[in-house]
Amino acid sequence: MFELTGKQAVVTGAASGIGLAIAQLFALQGANVFVIDLNADRSNAAASAIKCMTAGTVSGLACDVSSEKSVQETFAKIAGSIDILVNCAGIAHVGNLQSTCLEDFERLFAVNVRGTYLCMRAAIPAMLQAGRGSILNLASVAATAGLSDRFAYSMTKGAVLSMTLSVAKDYIAQGIRCNCISPARVHTPFVDGFVAKTYPGHEAEMMQRLAESQPIGRMGTPDEIATLALYLCSDASSFVTGVDYPIDGGFFNLR
């Protein structure tokens, strides 16, 4: 039901965390996967690791998603159709309106918003030519919920959600679907690094607090997000477009 054999999938931010889990699962399901990340060594290492798990074609490409030139050059290297695009590249920031300086605001906008826009814009011509395609953007519960000290991050994820709905509306007649996923907290290497840097000596306490912020009592895993991504990008969800899927451990409805 969730087979991707013969499909080409592009996953940004795919060298670690959620993006890596998505790239791995898509490759295992038969897709030819392009692992895109900012650092060439990291993207190639991730692609090599995935190749050890599957007989599918996996390629690593370096790309600065915030740069139009870099995105254009990277997507030009992808021959043939682009059946699936997953925009997973993103960065975070802690701070409220007053503590968020313009530099941090623009840095998050450049990666999370401009990067999603540029990659969708680069992929859409191939999808239009083929008359089909599935775009999946990584939003967040921060897009629609008030989270403390997440001003700039919430702004960017709200924009990702709005872009998703707009693209879904504009290209539905051309056979292109566009959806987004809104996870609550997910346990990734980024979370480990953030906690270690921000709360040295109190890592275990902070990890417990993060886990308890979801009613289910734990953070999500990248593999759980990848499973939902597989459904939304496979033909099994062919009747689904313009949807923001929460995957949040009860964050919205059970608090």
Q: Is 153 a catalytic residue?
A: yes
Catalytic hit among 117, 153, 171, 245: 153
Alpha-carbon gap, residue 1 to 255, rounded angstroms: 34
The structure tokens listed for 4 are 């991707």
- The domain spans of the chain are 8-184+221-246, 188-219
Dmax of the chain from CA atoms?
A: 55
Q: Which pair of structure tokens corresponds to residue 82?
A: 């682009």
CA angle 48, 50, 54 (to 5 degrees): 115
Is there a contact between 60 and 45 (Cβ–Cβ < 8 Å)? yes
- Return the structure tokens found at 147: 């989270």
Among residues of the chain, what percentage have pLDDT more than 90?
89
Q: Return the bridge partners of 244, or none.
A: 180
Please state which of the four CATH numbers 3.40.50.10420, 3.40.50.300, 1.10.510.10, 3.40.50.720 is assigned to the domain occupying 8-184+221-246.
Answer: 3.40.50.720
**Mean pLDDT confidence for 30-40:** 97
CA distance linking residue 218 with residue 204, whole number of Å: 13
d(CA 241, CA 225): 18
Please write the tens of the pLDDT for every residue from 108-164: 999 999 999 999 999 999 999 999 999 999 999 999 999 999 999 999 999 999 999
pLDDT tens digits along 50-101? 999 887 799 999 999 999 999 999 999 999 999 999 999 999 999 999 999 9
For the purposes of burial, counting CB atoms within 10 Å of the CB of 253, is it exposed (0-12), middle (13-18) or buried (19 or more)? exposed
The SS3 of residue 206 is helix
Q: pTM of the full predicted structure?
A: 0.95
